[in-house]
Amino acid sequence: MLSIFFPKRRKKKRDGSLPERLPRHVAIIMDGNGRWAQKRGLPRAAGHRAGVEALREVVKACLEWDIQILTVYAFSTENWKRPRSEVQALMHLLVEYLEREVEELHEQGVQIRAIGRISELPVEARQKLQQAMETTAGNRRLVLNLALNYGGRAELADACAAMVRDVEEGKLRWEEIREDTLEKYLYTAGLPDPDLLIRAAGEMRLSNFLLWQAAYTELWVTSTLWPDFRREDLLAALEDYARRERRFGGLK
């Protein structure tokens, strides 16, 4: 995958409460939809639908605050283990989201991307996703990166398999394999690593999300369930990020 062009951050007057030092790439584990629905005596699908509304608000905030990349964990390789009815509801919701939102996202300059084993998604979901990516491919204001049928271990396995194939075909030599070589074979090739990873619903784990890319990512966990996550929560994460000193294993 080719690198994309990232424009310089536009200089504009910010809201006084917004920190000046912002992450370039924010990743989010959108957890807690099921618990949100259970608390209200609703089916789990209602929680996922409410989670879409939270995503819509976060995307708008990222556009307003000049975040350049937003990667969201929408469906993991492990989520296929859930009840068939819930998986079907999630896939239907993905199709609905793409049908309803692509035009507005395109007008706002959002480029839709996807990472994961996309070929294993249902046909309709794949088709809508491909159409959305083709429609928005030229946009540069915000990359909305949807992790679908994604797993960090699967990504590393796929990257290694692709490297082995290239070695066998003479496209790559063993002695050329380094960390930066492997990065070119990841689903996220061409994108910078996340600066900030937000996890909703209070769980203290990565859950197989961006295992390679998050090596030096700043983590921020909130007990807020994802459907209740709003721009105020995102702002709290950004403010905390701005106070941190990132040394990447070195000294100040």
pLDDT reported for residue 12: 46
What is the average pLDDT score of the chain?
A: 93
Inter-CA distances, 56 with 72, 168, 197, Å: 12, 45, 18
Confidence of residue 18 (pLDDT cuts 50, 70, 90): confident
pLDDT reported for residue 246: 82
Six-digit token string for 168? 């066998």
The total number of residues shown for the chain amounts to 252
Q: Which residue in this structure is represented by tokens 């990516």?
A: 133
Quick check: 20 and 14 in contact, CB under 8 A? yes
Kindly tell me the burial class for residue 225, based on how many C-beta atoms sit within 10 Å of its own C-beta (0-12, 13-18, 19 or more): buried
Q: Tens digits of per-residue pLDDT, 29-47?
A: 999 999 999 999 999 999 9
Q: Tens digits of per-residue pLDDT, 176-231?
A: 999 999 999 999 999 999 999 999 999 999 999 999 999 999 999 999 999 999 99
25-151+194-243: CATH architecture:
3-Layer(aba) Sandwich (3.40)
Residue 13 has pLDDT above 70, yes or no: no
- Residue 199 CA to residue 150 CA, distance in Å, equals 16
User: Which residues are identified as catalytic?
Assistant: 31, 79
- Residue 83 CA to residue 150 CA, distance in Å, equals 18
Residue 2 has pLDDT above 50, yes or no: no
Give the pLDDT mean for 141-169.
98
Confidence of residue 248 (pLDDT cuts 50, 70, 90): confident
pLDDT reported for residue 16: 52
The share of the chain scoring above pLDDT 90, in percent, equals 88
Q: Tens digits of per-residue pLDDT, 45-56?
A: 999 999 999 999
Give the pLDDT mean for 99-128.
98
Radius of gyration of the chain (CA): 18
Kindly tell me the burial class for residue 213, based on how many C-beta atoms sit within 10 Å of its own C-beta (0-12, 13-18, 19 or more): buried
